[in-house]
C-alpha cells in the first residue's frame, strides 16, 4: 500500500468510500465491477466509428489484427496509470503533482479538462445526430442541435450522482450494449461470409496503412488514460484494478473498433460507397437496435467524461473548498452548451492527434516518475497545497514541464514526416520516458556533487 494511504490522517484527510471531493478515495469495487465500468465506457460510438475509418483503407482482417495489437499495447499504459490510482486513491490529474509539482499539475489538469470537454461534445453530437435521424424517419421532426443538447443534459444529470452512481448504472448499460453488438455482428455475418470480408479490395486512396491504423488504436487508449486512475481508484485491490481495467478496456475496444470495421465492410459489400465516421449510414443499415446502442454508449461514456472533468478541477488544490455538486453544475453547463457545436465532428481526426501530442508525454513522465524514480510510492506531501517534497521550484518541476513540451513538439514533428515508418505514439512515449529519467538523474547527480563540495 502506498504512503499516501498510510499517512492520510497525519495530513488531516480521511478516507471515505463515497467521497468525490479532494484527496484519496478508498476503493471497494471488485475486478468484475471495475471491468463492467470500463466495458460500458468504451463500448462507445466514437470507438466504433474510429473502426469505420480503417476499412477498406487496409484489408478487413489486417485491420482487426492491428486493432487487437494496438489495443493491448495502449492498454498497458492505461493499466499502469490506473494502478497508480488504486495504490494511492488519487485521480489521474491529482497524481501528476508527483512529477510536475503541486502547481505544475495545474497545466496538465487544465489540458485534461479541455480534452475531456471536446470528447463530451463529440459524443453528445453523435448521439444527437443519431436520435435526430430516427426522429426524422419516424415522426418527421428534425432538430439535431436540440437532441444533442438533450442527450448531454441527461449525461450531466447522471454524473451529478458521482462515482457511486456511475458504478451502479454502467454495468447495466454494458449488458444492453453488448446484446445489441452481438445482434449487429449476427446480421453482418448472416448476409456475407468471412471469406467475402477478407476478400474486400483495398482502397489505397483513403490514405491508410498499417502504421497509421496501429497509431490511432494506441492513441485511443491514451485518450482514455486521462480517466484511468479516476476509476481504478475505486478498485478494492490492485489485482481488481489491473484485471478489471485491462480486460474491460481490451474487450470493449476490440469489440467496438472491430464492429466499426465490420460495418464498413458490410456496407461496402452491399455496394454502398460511404464515408467513415458517419453514424447515419450505419444506423440506416441496421435501424433502431444500432441507434439504441449508440445512444446508450454515449450516455455511459459521457457520464464518466463529465465526472472526470469535475474530478480534475476539484483535485487541483486543497486550499479551495470546491464542492462536487457546484463544480459538476458549472462543467455540465459548459458541456451542454458546447454540444450544440455540430461542426466539431469535422475536426475529430485532428482532435485525436492533439490528444496524443499532449498526453503521450504526460503519461510517459508519470510512469517514469512513479515506477522508476519514486519506486512506486508517493509521500503524503502530494496532498498539500504548498511546500513539501513535491514543491520543487515554486511548485513546478521544470524538468517535467520541459520534457512535456519537448515530447509535444517531437510528436508534432513525427506527424509531419512523409511516409513515417514508426508512427507517432510509441516513439513519442519512448522519447519522453527516456528524456525525463535522464534529466532527473542528471539533476540529482549535479545536486549530489555540489553537496559533496
Within 13 Å, how many C-alpha atoms sit on residue 36's CB side?
A: 15
Dihedral sign of CA atoms 342, 346, 348, 351 in order: negative
For residue 274, what is its C-alpha cell?
460511404
Q: Are 34 and 220 in contact (CB under 8 A)?
A: no
What does the domain layout of the chain look like in residue ranges?
A: 3-452
The Cα 278–Cα 125 span in angstroms is: 12
In a structure prediction context, what are the per-residue pLDDT tens digits for the chain, which is 453 residues long? 444 443 333 333 333 334 455 678 888 899 998 998 888 777 777 888 899 999 999 999 999 999 999 999 999 999 999 999 999 999 898 999 999 999 999 999 888 888 888 888 888 888 888 889 889 888 999 999 999 988 888 878 776 665 555 556 656 767 777 887 888 899 899 999 999 999 999 998 888 999 999 999 998 898 889 889 988 999 999 999 999 999 999 999 999 999 999 999 999 998 887 776 778 878 887 778 888 777 877 777 777 788 778 877 876 667 666 777 788 888 888 888 888 887 776 666 677 677 778 899 999 999 999 999 999 999 999 988 889 999 999 999 999 999 999 999 999 999 888 888 888 999 999 999 999 999 999 998 876 655 554
Backbone angles phi, psi at 235, to 5 degrees: -75, 145
Q: Is 393 helix (H, G, I), strand (E, B) or coil?
A: strand
Percent helix / strand / coil, the chain, rounded to 5: 75, 0, 25
Burial per residue of 25-46, b for 16 or more beta-carbon CB atoms within 10 angstroms, e otherwise: bbbebbbebbbbbbbbbbbbbb
Q: How many CB atoms lie within 10 A of CB 359?
A: 27
The Cα 344–Cα 342 span in angstroms is: 5
pLDDT on residue 12: 36
Confidence (pTM) = 0.86
- Long-range contacts formed by 406-410: CB under 8 A, 24+ apart: 406/361, 406/431, 406/432, 406/435, 407/360, 407/361, 407/364, 407/365, 407/431, 407/432, 407/435, 408/357, 408/358, 408/361, 410/361
Residues recorded for the chain: 453
Beta partners for residue 338, in sequence order: none
The Cα 324–Cα 158 span in angstroms is: 13
Closest CA to 300 of 418, 165, 400, 101: 165
Q: Kindly list the distances between the CA atom of residue 99 and the CA atoms of 116, 119, 313, 324, 366, in Å, as whole numbers in the listed order.
A: 21, 26, 18, 25, 6
Give the CATH architecture of domain 3-452: Orthogonal Bundle (1.10)
Closest CA to 272 of 180, 191, 183: 191
The Cα 315–Cα 233 span in angstroms is: 14
pLDDT on residue 2: 45
The Cα 80–Cα 365 span in angstroms is: 12
Backbone angles phi, psi at 396, to 5 degrees: -130, 130
The burial of 415, by beta-carbon neighbours within 10 Å (0-12 exposed, 13-18 middle, 19 or more buried), is given as: middle
Q: Are 376 and 5 in contact (CB under 8 A)?
A: no
Place of cell 487544465: 110
Q: Are 233 and 85 in contact (CB under 8 A)?
A: yes
pLDDT on residue 356: 77
Q: How many CB atoms lie within 10 A of CB 99?
A: 29
| DSSP E strand stretches across 174-254 | none
Dihedral sign of CA atoms 339, 130, 38, 365 in order: negative
Q: How many CB atoms lie within 10 A of CB 110?
A: 14
Amino acid at each position: 500500500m502506498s504512503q499516501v494511504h498510510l499517512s492520510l490522517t497525519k495530513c488531516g484527510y480521511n478516507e471515505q468510500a463515497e467521497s468525490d471531493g479532494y484527496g484519496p478515495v478508498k476503493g471497494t469495487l471488485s475486478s468484475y465491477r471495475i471491468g463492467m465500468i470500463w466495458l460500458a465506457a468504451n463500448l462507445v460510438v466514437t470507438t466504433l466509428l474510429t473502426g469505420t475509418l480503417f476499412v477498406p483503407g487496409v484489408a478487413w482482417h489486417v485491420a482487426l489484427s492491428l486493432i487487437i495489437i494496438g489495443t493491448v499495447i495502449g492498454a498497458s499504459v492505461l493499466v499502469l496509470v490506473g494502478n497508480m490510482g488504486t495504490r494511492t486513491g488519487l485521480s489521474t490529474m491529482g497524481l501528476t503533482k508527483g512529477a510536475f509539482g503541486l502547481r505544475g499539475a495545474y497545466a496538465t489538469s487544465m489540458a485534461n479538462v479541455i480534452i475531456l470537454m471536446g470528447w463530451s461534445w463529440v459524443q453528445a453530437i453523435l448521439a444527437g445526430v443519431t436520435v435526430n435521424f430516427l426522429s426524422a424517419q419516424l415522426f418527421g421532426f428534425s432538430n439535431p442541435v436540440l437532441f444533442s443538447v438533450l442527450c448531454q443534459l441527461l449525461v450531466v444529470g447522471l454524473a451529478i450522482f458521482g462515482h457511486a452512481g456511475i458504478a451502479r448504472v454502467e454495468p447495466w448499460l454494458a449488458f444492453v450494449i453488448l446484446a445489441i453488438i452481438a445482434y449487429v455482428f449476427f446480421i453482418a455475418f448472416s448476409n456475407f461470409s468471412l471469406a467475402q470480408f477478407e476478400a474486400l479490395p483495398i482502397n489505397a486512396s483513403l490514405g491508410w496503412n498499417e502504421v497509421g491504423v496501429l497509431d490511432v488504436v494506441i492513441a485511443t487508449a491514451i485518450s482514455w488514460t486521462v480517466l484511468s486512475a479516476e476509476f481504478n481508484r475505486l478498485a478494492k485491490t490492485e489485482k481488481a484494478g489491473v484485471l478489471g481495467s485491462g480486460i474491460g478496456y481490451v474487450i470493449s475496444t476490440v469489440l467496438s473498433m472491430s464492429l466499426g470495421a465490420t460495418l464498413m465492410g458490410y456496407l461496402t459489400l452491399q455496394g454502398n460507397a460511404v464515408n467513415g465516421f458517419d453514424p447515419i449510414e450505419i444506423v440506416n443499415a441496421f435501424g433502431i437496435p444500432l441507434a439504441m446502442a449508440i445512444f446508450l454508449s454515449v450516455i455511459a461514456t459521457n457520464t464518466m467524461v463529465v465526472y472526470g472533468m469535475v474530478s480534475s478541477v476539484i483535485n487541483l488544490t486543497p486550499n479551495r473548498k470546491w464542492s462536487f455538486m457546484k463544480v459538476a453544475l458549472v462543467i455540465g453547463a459548459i458541456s451542454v452548451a458546447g454540444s450544440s457545436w455540430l461542426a466539431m465532428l469535422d475536426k475529430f481526426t485532428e482532435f485525436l492527434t492533439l490528444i496524443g501530442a499532449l498526453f503521450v508525454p504526460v503519461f510517459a513522465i508519470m510512469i517514469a516518475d512513479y515506477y522508476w524514480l519514486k519506486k512506486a510510492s508517493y509521500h503524503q506531501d502530494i496532498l498539500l497545497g504548498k511546500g513539501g517534497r513535491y514543491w520543487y521550484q515554486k511548485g513546478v518541476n521544470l524538468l517535467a514541464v520541459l520534457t512535456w513540451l519537448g515530447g509535444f513538439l517531437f510528436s508534432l514533428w513525427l506527424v509531419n514526416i512523409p511516409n513515417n515508418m514508426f508512427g507517432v505514439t510509441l516513439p513519442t512515449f519512448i522519447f519522453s520516458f527516456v528524456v525525463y529519467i535522464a534529466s532527473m538523474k542528471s539533476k540529482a547527480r549535479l545536486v549530489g556533487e555540489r553537496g559533496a563540495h
